[in-house]
Chain A
Amino acid sequence: MTEQQPANSNAPHPYPGKLIIVEGIDGSGKSTQLLLLHKWLESKGHKVFFTAWNSSELVKDTTKRGKKNKSLTPTTFSLLHATDFASRLYHEILPPLKAGMLVLADRYMYTAFARDVVRGVSAEWVRKLYSFAIKPDMAFYFKVPIEVAISRLLGGTRGQFKYYEAGMDMNLSQDVTESFRTFQSRILAQYDKIVDEYQLITMDATKDIAQQQDGMRRLVDEALKDYKPRRGTHGRRSLFWRRFDVPKSE
């Protein structure tokens, strides 16, 4: 019967660790930048934990199934991602923050605020849904024009767009690239509002990778000035604590 976490995502969290998150549309290069930041922080001797959007085992399988038989509605799509987020917050994000570690998150609740609203859920509702989330210490938004994102994705390793990433479920266009352009442009417009609403740090994602990374490292260095890293036992352990995995029933 005890009250759990304070449900106020505007106040700073009370934990000794730091939470750094990145946002941006597909092809903005945010994951690359976060990976480089991760390497740098570890090289400086920090204990770092990384977590990615929609990656919890339980929900990932369900989302995959729902996507496959195309039965997801805007609301169930949104709720499944919120469930994944809640589960990762509880199992992956809060423990290292309480232990004083650095936590890096590839996408955070702002992804839902942008994408789910474009899919058609109420903007107020999705914000209330995530009211249990904690406020990140730093939130970077990698801003990129839609054409740059498209050429990166088509010219890069992936070579083609995925069904939901292109918003093909919204019947915007029969052509997958055209659908991606319309869908992600709408998401960009939502991100513009979110940047103001939540004071995300906007990064120019059209610059060179190294140039962007320099800028990011400078900002993080500055923000970590008052941060007292917790030194654990020496030597790096990849598994710092265990997540209690749900046994597969089949």
Chain B
Amino acid sequence: MGDAHYFGDGLTYLNPSDLKGKLIAIEGTDGVGRSTHLELLQEWLEVQGYGVITTGWTRSNLMSKTIEVAKEGNTIDRWSLSLLYATDFADRLEHEIIPALRSGFIVLADRYIYTAFARDFVRSNDRKWIRDVFGFALVPDLVCYLRIDVETLALRVIETKAMNYWESGMDLRLGNDLYDSFKKYQSLLIEEFDKMAVEFKFEVVDARKSLEDIQDELRSKIHTLLSEGEVARTAPVVEDAQL
């Protein structure tokens, strides 16, 4: 990250200029296939000799348990929910993401701050506060947005794991049952993601395509990013060794 910088008011005690790795975020709504692609990308990059770590939304040591418990209660307010996400993100940023970038790793993030932006916006109609809160986040080198329409998404989610309370935005009371609520909530999220895609220049990938096609597209975008930069590979490339 030659020109690493913070999204807003950054960490005053941490200068991001010595971060050598690359930060790549995979965004997209619930059930769009992010984690599957992330696993394949990690494998692909490691085979090429890049050091890779992955980091997932709400999976920090400090907060994962707390967020689980909070969500079980189903009575959490907008600010607390967003602040719990922000705390989780800050913990991962300082304990996982920044140390890895400093050592030259590629960091693959399963969701990033834009997920928090979308979720807070559909609950509050306010974009400013949540963006201020996440001012300390590093701006990623690349954001790939897996875009899907809500009809396809609904079918896919029902097929694979069924709809749950939070993915259906039931706290917003948008519909009478899980299905209606899911469709309305996810439509609002997708609408906001689409706007951010323009504003923050996401690389948009059509998530309705086949797994192979999507993966190929993601790889080509990442390849472009890595060939621009000077990311040190941790092992020599196998093809070269054979020659």
Contacts and interface: CB of A to CB of B under 8 A. Distances in A.
Given A120-B13, A125-B132, A90 B90 contact: no
Contact of B9 (A74, A80, A125, A246): A125
Contacts of A124: 9
Contacts of A65: 62
A41 interface: no
Interface string A47-91: 000000000001101100110000111111001101100110111
B212 interface: no
A86 B73 contact: no
Interface string A219-250: 00000000000000000000000001111110
Contact of B91 (A76, A86, A89, A132): A76
A98 interface: no
A58 B70 CA distance: 7
A121 interface: yes
Contacts of A4: 78, 123-124, 126
Size bracket of the B interface:
35 or more
Contact of A131 (B63, B86, B94, B132): B132
Contact of B80 (A74, A90, A122): A90
B144 to A, nearest CB: 26
Closest 5 pairs between A and B when the two form their complex, measured CB to CB:
A246-B73, A125-B9, A86-B79, A128-B132, A90-B77
B91 A246 contact: no
Contacts of B8: 125
Residue of B13, B61, B123, B172 with most partner-chain A CB within 10 A:
B13
B135 interface: yes
A76 B91 CA distance: 6
Contacts of B125: 1-3
